[in-house]
Amino acid sequence: MSNQIISNPGRSATRATPNPKMNQAVNKKKNRKRKARKTLKDLGMKKGTFFMSQCARDYGYCLVDPFGYEKYAEGRLPCIPDVLDFPSRKFYSRARGVMTTSSTGFGFLSATPFTVTPVTDQANGFPQYAFTNDAAQAVSATCTNNLIQTGFGFGFLTACPSGFPTNGTQGHNFAFRCVALGIRVRYIGTELQRGGQIIPIVGRSLQGSTYNQILADPLTSPTPVDRKWHGCFYRPTDSTDTNYRTSINGIGQDTRIALCLSSTPGNNFEFEVTSYFECIPHLDAKVDSTTASHSDSTGYSFIRDMTGQFDISAMGTFAWQQIVTAAKKYAADHISHL
């Protein structure tokens, strides 16, 4: 008899065939784990992230995109989510117009967050913004007197709560602060005359700066003149900037943001100035139509740190998406004040 070993075909077949019930059980277990991880990610429950309150989200969006906030918020008006969470009256102002580069080819649009004079009380208050509106006027390239020169037009708030004293030389019966402020321009002239640059500026004092100095500033971001909107937003740089105040400073006293234009003399640009405010009673006065304000120190710190890292011309939905992305992934690294 031969010594050849014959394998058992039935046994080999049994080993090669997997148990279908066992595989189903394993797959179900794996699926459960994947679904659980996905759910945690959707809820934001990931290491290094945090939940930002609605108030902080509204404030962040309004700060970087005051022009698109109204559509985003669906009726909500923003407040600053710091510890001064008093019930406040919230309102906003939006002004549009046409500015013109002067005979020297220079143009300016500047604004301040520290005035609440409505357009109905121009004789007693201070203007919120200034712009070049005289094509025949030779406007200097030096920002003298905080961007106020001959050949400039001035504007006031288009909306302000009625019944508030707005005299610039007297005290107020209410205290106010600016939540957000943005300015932007776009060219509306002929294509043959289009040319030049638009330079955004943000700072505490712009007085005395020349156009060449502004152009050489590493914080500025010049862009060529085209038919797109170009602008910048106000961001607080000092702890006193977000305090409630009872005195107003017009465009001649405290300019904080501006757009400098160098283009063909007489070119026309459409402009827009949008600002949001909140106000509270001062002394024994009363402020009607107040709504609740909220405090979110963690979210406020994160928003403040993120906007401080943005380019001064970074505005709009894209800037807000950067904030949202950072909040989901890298928030813990950005929070410096807890």
Of the pLDDT bands very low, low, confident and very high (cuts 50, 70, 90), residue 302 is: confident
Rounded to whole angstroms, the Cα distance separating 197 from 105 reads: 11
CATH level 3 topology of 87-292? Jelly Rolls (2.60.120)
Chain centre to alpha carbon of residue 132:
25
Rounded to whole angstroms, the Cα distance separating 161 from 136 reads: 37
| Amino acid at position 65, single letter | D
Written as one string, the DSSP assignment of 39-88 is HHHHTT-STT--PPPHHHHHHHHHHH-TTTHHHHHTTPPP---SS----B
Using alpha carbons, list the distances in angstroms from residue 108 to 77, 155, 204: 29, 13, 17
Helix axes 297-309, 317-329, angle to 10 degrees: 120
Rounded to whole angstroms, the Cα distance separating 269 from 149 reads: 19
Of the pLDDT bands very low, low, confident and very high (cuts 50, 70, 90), residue 38 is: very low
* Average pLDDT, integer, range 116-137: 80
Length of the chain: 338
Domain parsing of the chain, residue ranges: 46-85+296-338, 87-292
Task: Tell me the pLDDT tens digit for each residue of 134-182.
Answer: 888 877 776 655 556 677 888 888 877 655 555 544 446 778 899 999 9
Task: Tell me the pLDDT tens digit for each residue of 240-296.
Answer: 888 888 877 767 667 788 888 889 999 999 999 999 999 888 777 777 788 888 888
* Average pLDDT, integer, range 311-328: 69
Rounded to whole angstroms, the Cα distance separating 269 from 153 reads: 14
